[in-house]
Amino acid sequence: MAEHLEGLMSTSMEKIRELVDVNTIIGDAVTSPDGTIIIPISKVSFGFVSGGSDIPSTVTKDVFAGGSGAGITIKPQAFIVIKTDGDVKMLELGSKDSPMDSLIENVPNLVSKVKDIFEKKDDKDSEEE
């Protein structure tokens, strides 16, 4: 089974290497008519999974079942702009954080605020008694 699984994994990893290289992250420079150079920068994320199993069989030949897969996301993040006078700027696209990142980042503040609300309610209840 190990050699079958290793074959699946190495084939998948080789295909990922073909798809993703440094030119995927830092794109080819584009020169505008006025001489400004624009270089795209992207974020590349990928995931990989592989698995397999020896299946019991009544036949004397080994039976193997397995599979592997990968997913890739390429998202533009920014552009490096080099003007003819040598001025270099980075132009970021949109927000750096996804809504989920912002939500996760703000959970401690939210918990603190909810805790404060309950503490104030408990204080009011004890004053009324």
- What confidence tens digit (pLDDT) does each residue in 24-47 have? 788 889 999 999 999 999 988 877
Question: What stretches of the chain adopt beta strand conformation (E)?
Answer: 30-31, 37-54, 64-82, 88-92
Contact 7, 14 (CB under 8 A): no
Whole-angstrom distance, CA of residue 37 vs CA of residue 109: 43
Token look-up 């994320």 returns 45
Q: How does the average pLDDT of the chain come out, rounded?
A: 76
Identify the band that residue 114 occupies on the pLDDT scale cut at 50, 70 and 90.
confident
Calculate the CA 35 to chain-centre distance. 34
Residues near 126 by beta carbon (within 8 Å), at least 6 away in sequence: none
